[in-house]
């Protein structure tokens, strides 16, 4: 992560000059100068991108014509992320209380009992999640795949919201909608945030602390390393329970194992996948999201996927995904070293070889998305009646 972190910092130092209009917008939104600069540079990077939205450019199977691109952004609450162990935050209103953390290989992790989540929750990881957010947003052409309508979707839940990149963007855009983000780690901004969003520490595998039929839109992204395989159906049931009839649930995941892997990457992916399975995780849940939604009773279930290059071979998008992957390798270093008995030097050498393989083998990941509608009670009983009559 060292090199990716420094390149991110270099980009951030080059703050774009703000126009009067942009300054005004900043004032209105009550964002800090740094936050606004980050958002602006990310947006400009996307606008300036010479990447066309075509499949052939990236030349990977199943790209869906949705070539992803660019991004730049950063964690916006450094003092918070840099806090040392045993101090931190949480609570229903997002204010700070004490919470213990675990430190693994120099990285800060959650300390939620029973939660298998493997990735850290420190500033480096938050940087990575911001970066990843913008690549994914571009890959899918927006923040949601289901049609989001601020006039209809008044209450929104983001499950496993992390630093809140998605929710902060959505709540800035849809000012008349109330957004709630939940996560096992309180890594969201506590001081500067839109008025229409709030955060709460919740372990989703233990049930959601909301009334039935509370939300119009429930969003969940990248929880593959968060939930034990056995918990997925329960969590989805909980998502359905708190969704209003007629409301939408949207899920997005990337499988643990990437595609077009070279020999080194294949070897380590095998070890990684076995390690995840040993921890009780479902490494293939990404491909089953639509089935999970249907099994939970949703209707009008739709799904899609975008193939996203990893490596400079995939132009700027690929470079950013490689940067993202550098972050993941850095985040998982402690655990992988433990799984493989490697030392630091061996680990770094392996990552270098993997980076070469990204280019030679044209590595890519598939990002899967599925969404569906919670039926109204009368629709469900009608459906049950129809299917009973058919038998």
Ligand X SMILES: C[S@@+](CC[C@H](N)C(=O)[O-])C[C@H]1O[C@@H](n2cnc3c(N)ncnc32)[C@H](O)[C@@H]1O
Shortest distance in whole angstroms from residue 210 CB to ligand X:
13
Q: Which of 39, 89, 145, 221 binds ligand X (CB under 6 A)?
A: 221
SS3 178: strand
Q: Which of 127, 183, 216, 238 binds ligand X (CB under 6 A)?
A: 183
Question: Which positions from 73 through 132 interact with ligand X, judged by CB under 6 A?
Answer: 110, 115, 117, 121, 129
**222 touches ligand X by CB under 6 A:** yes
Binding mask of the shown chain, residues 130 to 149, with x at each position contacting ligand X by CB under 6 A: ---x----------------
Closer residue to ligand X (CB): 228 or 297: 228
Shortest distance in whole angstroms from residue 107 CB to ligand X:
13
Q: Which of 203, 238, 250, 357 binds ligand X (CB under 6 A)?
A: 203
**162 touches ligand X by CB under 6 A:** yes
Q: What tokens appear for 355 in the block?
A: 């980076």
**204 touches ligand X by CB under 6 A:** yes
Q: Which of 67, 184, 296, 369 binds ligand X (CB under 6 A)?
A: 184
Q: What angle do CA 10, 11, 13 make, to 5 degrees?
A: 65
Query: What is the DSSP annotation of 226-291?
Result: TSBGGGHHHHHHHHHHHEEEEEEEEEEE--SS-BS--HHHHHHHHHHHHHHHHTTB-TTGGGGHHH
- Span from 36-44, 67-75, 85-93, 219-227 in contact with ligand X (CB under 6 A): 219-227
Pairs from 274-281 (Cβ < 8 Å, separation ≥ 24):
275/335, 275/336, 275/339, 276/118, 276/225, 279/116, 279/118, 279/228, 280/116, 280/228, 280/229, 280/230, 281/116, 281/224, 281/225, 281/227, 281/228, 281/229, 281/256
**226 touches ligand X by CB under 6 A:** yes
SS3 97: coil
Q: What is the residue whose two structure tokens read 């390690």?
A: 275
Residue from 14, 145, 159 nearest 74 by CA: 14
Closer residue to ligand X (CB): 133 or 174: 133
Closer residue to ligand X (CB): 205 or 307: 205
Closer residue to ligand X (CB): 226 or 334: 226
Shortest distance in whole angstroms from residue 353 CB to ligand X:
25
Q: Is residue 301 within 8 Å of 290, Cβ to Cβ? A: yes
Shortest distance in whole angstroms from residue 269 CB to ligand X:
18
Closer residue to ligand X (CB): 77 or 205: 205
**160 touches ligand X by CB under 6 A:** yes
Please list, residue by residue across 33-59, b when 16 or more beta carbons sit within 10 angstroms of its beta carbon and e when fewer do: eebbbbbbbbbebbeebebebebebbe
**171 touches ligand X by CB under 6 A:** no
Closer residue to ligand X (CB): 36 or 118: 118
Cβ-based neighbours of 192, under 8 Å, separated by 6 or more: 30, 31, 32, 35, 76
List residues near ligand X by CB under 6 A: 110, 115, 117, 121, 129, 133, 160-162, 165, 183-185, 202-205, 221-223, 226-227
């Amino acid at each position: 992560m060292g090199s990716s972190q420094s390149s991110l910092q270099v980009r951030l130092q080059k703050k774009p000059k703000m126009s009067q209009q942009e300054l005004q917008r900043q004032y209105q939104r009550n964002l800090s100068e740094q936050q606004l600069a980050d958002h602006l540079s990310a947006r400009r990077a996307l606008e300036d991108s010479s990447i066309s939205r075509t499949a052939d450019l990236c030349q990977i199977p199943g790209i869906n014509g949705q070539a992803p691109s660019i991004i730049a952004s950063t964690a916006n609450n450094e003092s918070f992320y840099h806090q040392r162990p045993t101090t931190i935050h949480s609570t229903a209103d997002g204010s700070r209380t004490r919470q213990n953390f675990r430190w693994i290989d120099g990285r800060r992790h959650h300390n939620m009992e029973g939660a298998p989540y493997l990735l850290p929750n420190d500033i480096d990881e938050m940087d990575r999640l911001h970066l990843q957010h913008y690549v994914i947003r571009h890959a899918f052409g927006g923040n949601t795949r289901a049609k989001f309508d601020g006039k209809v979707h008044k209450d929104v839940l983001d499950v496993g919201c992390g630093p809140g990149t998605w929710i902060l963007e959505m709540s800035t855009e849809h000012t008349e909608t109330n957004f709630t983000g939940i996560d096992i780690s309180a890594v969201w901004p506590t001081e500067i945030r839109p008025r229409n969003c709030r955060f709460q520490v919740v372990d989703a595998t233990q049930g959601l602390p909301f009334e039935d039929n509370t939300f119009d839109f429930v969003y969940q992204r990248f929880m593959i390393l968060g939930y034990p395989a056995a918990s997925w159906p329960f969590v989805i049931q909980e998502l359905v329970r708190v969704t209003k009839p007629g409301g939408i649930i949207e899920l997005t995941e990337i499988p643990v194992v990437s595609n077009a892997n070279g020999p080194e990457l294949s070897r380590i992916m095998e070890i990684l996948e076995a390690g995840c399975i040993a921890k009780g995780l479902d490494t293939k849940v990404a491909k089953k999201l639509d089935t999970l939604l249907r099994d939970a009773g949703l209707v009008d279930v739709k799904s899609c996927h975008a193939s996203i290059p990893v490596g400079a071979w995939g132009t700027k998008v690929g470079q950013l995904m490689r940067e993202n992957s550098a972050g993941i390798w850095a985040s998982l270093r402690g655990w992988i070293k433990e799984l493989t008995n490697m030392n630091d030097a061996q680990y770094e050498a392996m990552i270098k070889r993997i980076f070469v393989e990204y280019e030679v083998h044209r590595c890519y990941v598939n990002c899967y998305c599925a969404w569906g509608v919670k039926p109204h009670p009368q629709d469900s009983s009608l459906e049950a009646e129809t299917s009973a009559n058919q038998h």
